[in-house]
Amino acid sequence: MSIETLHTIAEARARVLQWQREGLKVALTPTMGNLHSGHASLVQLGLQHADRVIASVFVNPTQFGPNEDFDRYPRTLKADEDLLASVGCHAVFAPSAVEMYPDFASGKTNTLLIEPGPIAAELCGEFRPGHFAGVATVVAKLFNIMPADVAVFGEKDFQQLFVIRQLVRELNFPIKIIGAPTVREANGLAKSSRNQYLSAEEREQAGLIYQCLQSMREHCQAGRASSEIESTVHARLSERGFKPDYATVRDAHSLASLQAGSTHAVALIAARLGRARLIDNLSFALHA
Ligand code: PAF
């Protein structure tokens, strides 16, 4: 099956509106490209909820910090189109940076950025200032450009999904957000475009993150204090060559610290290994 690639905002909006006029339900799967089987699963989930799926492939400059990997982030549109077509995606919106941010050529992006509030300064936000404002802004733009019925995002980016749900709720976007389960390598490593910054040896080593998440779940369910769990995992990762940004257990509904009344928790880790910054999480019920 071939896929239709749309490069302009006008074309992408027209395609979605045309499908909806025909009575078809539309799912959007926003991505930054360099797609892998984790992204394929987003499209497949979209197809379960809609008649047409449109993916976006756009490396969004506003969510990268000045010393981050915006320039070296892999851009592989041809391979992305092939993968999307192979799983039944109907169209891809692949705009240039200037199409999305008209002043990009003169070094500027949006003047107006959506500030997600205090949650954007915690966890990944503490280590990537401005990141979630960039994500919230581009996702709002994508929702305005392609007014789909549902949008699918990976649960691997737990905090991002949290921010996007808040964006939709607080700015009244008429779109349903669906979280897609994380796809993993055989050793538990969560699939991510950034895994390609790892050597073969580091990829093996990186399976430790999932092992740590599983032990955080076990200890948390056994009633051990979050602070103890966090320091043990920090030490375990550091001993094995990782530079952890955080390893923490939070309330899965609010992302705040666990409270006596919390029913669901999420263990979250962000750690650097070699040239890659890896993030992963595991959510679970606290009481059987
Ligand atoms: O998760 C991603 O790939 C990006 O953060 C997103 C949601 C496509 C926004 O650029």
Phi, psi of 201 (to 5 degrees): -65, -40
- Distances in Å between the alpha carbon of 173 and those of 16, 42, 164, 195? 16, 20, 10, 33
User: Which atom of ligand 1 lies nearest, measured to the CA of 32?
Assistant: 3
pLDDT confidence of residue 29: 98
> What per-residue string of b and e applies to 129-145 under the rule 16 or more CB within 10 Å gives b?
ebbbbbbbbbbbbbbeb
Taking 90 as the threshold, does the pLDDT of residue 110 lie above it? no
> pLDDT tens digits for 206-225?
999 999 999 999 999 999 99
The predicted model scores a pTM of: 0.97
Which residues have CB under 8 Å from 57's CB, separation 6+? Answer: 31, 32, 33, 35, 77, 80, 92, 93, 94
Nearest atom within ligand 1 for CA of residue 193: 3
Instruction: Give the residue, out of 31, 113, 183, 280, with the most ligand 1 atoms within 8 A of its beta carbon, to mutate for a pocket test.
Output: 31
Catalytic residue IDs: 39
Regarding the beta carbon of 244 and ligand 1, being less than 6 Å apart is answered no
User: How do residues 55-70 score in pLDDT, each as one tens digit?
Assistant: 999 999 999 999 999 9
84: pLDDT strictly greater than 70: yes
Nearest CA to ligand 1 atom 6: 31
Q: In this structure, which residue's CA is closest to atom 8 in ligand 1?
A: 31
Please name the residue ranges forming H helices in the chain: 9-21, 37-49, 77-86, 97-100, 124-127, 131-145, 158-170, 200-205, 208-221, 226-239
Whether the pLDDT of residue 114 is over 70: the answer is yes
Instruction: Judge if the beta carbon of residue 60 lies within 6 A of ligand 1.
Output: yes
Q: Give 151-162 as a DSSP string.
A: EEEETTSHHHHH
Q: Is the dihedral of CA 225, 117, 102, 154 positive or negative?
A: positive
N- to C-terminal Cα distance for the chain?
46
* CA 205 – CA 112 distance, rounded (Å): 41
- Nearest residue CA, atom 2 of ligand 1? 31
**Residues 171-217: pLDDT tens digits?**
999 999 999 999 999 999 999 999 999 999 999 999 999 999 999 99
- Cβ of residue 100 lying under 6 Å from some atom of ligand 1: no
